[in-house]
Structure 1
Amino acid sequence: MAAVRVRQHVNPLSSKYQTPTSPPDWTQIYADLTLPLHLDIGCAKGQFLLSMAQLEPDWNYLGLEIREPLVLEANKLRDEHLLQNLHYLFCNANNSLRPLLSSFPSGILQRVTIQFPDPWFKKRHQKRRVVQTDTVAELATYLASGGWVFIQSDVKQVAIEMCDRFHSHSSFQRTSSEWLTTNPLPVPTERERFTEAKGEPVYRALFEKS
């Protein structure tokens, strides 16, 4: 059977992705819904979360990805590892954060990662980037006080734009005015390893919800 070709770039503004995703019954997905939640926006193949969920069984993990074939494969791999604290969901994060996050118990969301999002270099395409003003506002609403958002990119202009959007919201405080030299999490993403192996910089920042 031939492998399904997965598109590298998916336009979140196309009509196919304009219907917000309805939340599943989380009690049927997570063994313990009272555990703190780590949300990874744009989880791609989900390898980062797969490793994190095994390292930290006292956390629940949710990965959002707009390319459905990647989600199907990631959940299959999750099942092979018998993990009950990890789930991957096919959705457009730009319009699905509110219905998804509002369906969890209040204060359960404690960590968010947005790592190496699609840069959409062309000026006319930049409105497709995942970190928009509304994205930040939704995260500010549902992230627990003291929770944090970790962002990183190998494209400096994209990292700066993400930082500017979080910095402009009164609920978020950047923990350092300089780029972080190391990842505060114990697992690097595939893109992170690839970029550092080439000797190229990664631009990282951490924002705390006040």
Structure 2
Amino acid sequence: MALVRVREHVNPLANRYKAVRPMPDWSTIYADLSQPLHIDIGCARGRFVHQLATQQPDWNYLGLEIREPLVLQANEWRDAAQLENLHYLFCNANIMLRTVLASLPSAVLQCVSIQFPDPWFKKKHHKRRVVQPPLVQDLADYLPAGAQIFIQSDILDVAAEMRDRFTANAAFQPQSTDWLAENPMPLPTEREIGVLNNQDPVYRVLFTRV
């Protein structure tokens, strides 16, 4: 199936992305709903979690993405691969994350990743960035102790803002005072591979829910 073409950036504050959508019956999505869950916020085409779901069948994976055509395509790829531990959800994480988390079984969520989010460089557009204090608090309210948050970006300002917003919440503790030199995830994203191939830096932090 050919790649669908979509706009690279979508304004999450637009009215069309403010609707709260009903959640699926997760027991019909995952073969084993009791497995630990990894949510990738802003998963784009979803290849990162698709590869993880293939390599680690004892985990469930959920990709959240605001561009619906990418979600439809990713779920088609999932179906073609017959993966029963992977799903993609069309949603605006800044509006719907709390609804998503509340719909899941308690304590299954063990990892959340936010990787190379849209930078929205203009100061007046910073409110469009995905890591806002309410999103951090939603994660603090629903993640069990010991769960991990992994963030990374190739834009220092974006990475520092994400780091500072999680650090400001007492529920999260960074595992290092410095940027991580290596990615703690089992595999990199396509974006990370491209950035590193250009010999550009990547700024990473891993947090633990305390």
Under TM normalisation by the shorter chain, which class is it?
A: over 0.9
Where does residue 161 of structure 2 map in the other structure?
Answer: 161
> Which SS does the other structure have where 1:95 is aligned?
helix
TM-superposed CA distance for 1:117, in Å, is 0.2
Contact kept in structure 1, 2:4 and 2:70, CA below 8 Å: no
Q: Which whole-Å deviations, capped at 9, do the CAs of 1:42-75 have from their partners, x for residues lacking one? A: 0000000010001111110000000011001100
Partner of 2:123: 123
Report the Cα distance in structure 1 between the residues aligned to 2:100 and 2:117, rounded to whole angstroms: 20
1:47 aligns with 2:47: yes
Do 2:101 and 2:142's aligned partners in 1 also have CA atoms closer than 8 Å? yes
Assess if the C-alpha contact under 8 Å between 2:137 and 2:169 holds in 1.
yes
Counterpart-to-counterpart distance in 2, 1:25 and 1:43 = 21
Does 2:71 match 1:71? yes
Cα distance in 1, alignment partners of residues 21 and 151 from structure 2:
24
Cα 1:175–1:76 shift into 2, 3 Å: same
Q: For 1:71-114, what per-residue CA distance to the aligned partner results, in whole angstroms no more than 9, with x for missing partners?
A: 01100000111000000000000010111111111111110000
Aligned-pair CA distance for 1:5: 2.6
Give runs of ≥4 in structure 1 deviating > 2 Å. 1-5
CA distance, structure 2, for counterparts of residue 40 and residue 21 of structure 1: 18
- Give the 3-state SS of the residue equivalent to 1:87 in structure 2: strand
Distance in structure 1 (CA, Å) of the matches to 2:188 and 2:113:
12
Residue pair 1:13, 1:128 contacting (<8 A) in 2 also: yes
Is contact 2:64–2:90 with CA below 8 Å preserved after alignment? yes
2:10 alignment partner, SS class: coil
Q: Percent identity?
A: 60
CA contact (8 A) 2:53 2:60 kept: yes
Deviation readout 1:100-154 (Å, 9 max, x if unpaired): 1111111111100000000000011000000000000000111111001000000
**Alignment partner of 1:118: what SS?**
coil
2:175 aligned partner: 175
1:38 CA drift (Å): 0.3
Find out whether 1:20 has 2:53 as its counterpart: no
State the distance in 2 between where 1:114 and 1:23 align. 21
* Conservation of the 8 A alpha-carbon contact between 1:22 and 1:100: no
Note the 1:191-202 alignment, pairs <5 A.
191-202=191-202
Compute the displacement of 1:3 (Å): 6.5
Q: What TM-score do the two structures reach when normalised by structure 2?
A: 0.98
CA distance in 2, matches of 1:4, 1:38: 25
Unaligned residue ranges in structure 2 (runs of 5+): none
Distance in 1 between residues matched to 2:28 and 2:129, nearest whole Å: 32
Question: Given the alignment of the two structures, is residue 99 of structure 1 paired with residue 103 of structure 2, yes or no?
Answer: no
Counterpart in the other structure of 1:56: 56
Q: Hey, what's the Cα distance between the residues in 1 that align with 2:101 and 2:80?
A: 27
Tell me the alpha carbon deviations over residues 146-198 of structure 1, each in whole angstroms, 9 at most, x when there is no partner. Answer: 00100000000000000000000010000001000111011100100000000
Deviation at 1:20, TM superposition (A): 1.7
Distance in 2 (alpha carbons) for counterparts of 1:3 and 1:178: 38
Q: Please state how far the C-alpha of 1:2 moved relative to its aligned partner.
A: 8.8
1:122–1:31 Cα change, 3 Å: same
In the alignment, the residues of structure 1 paired with residue 169 and residue 49 of structure 2 have an alpha-carbon distance, to the nearest angstrom, of 27
Count of residue pairs the alignment pairs up: 210
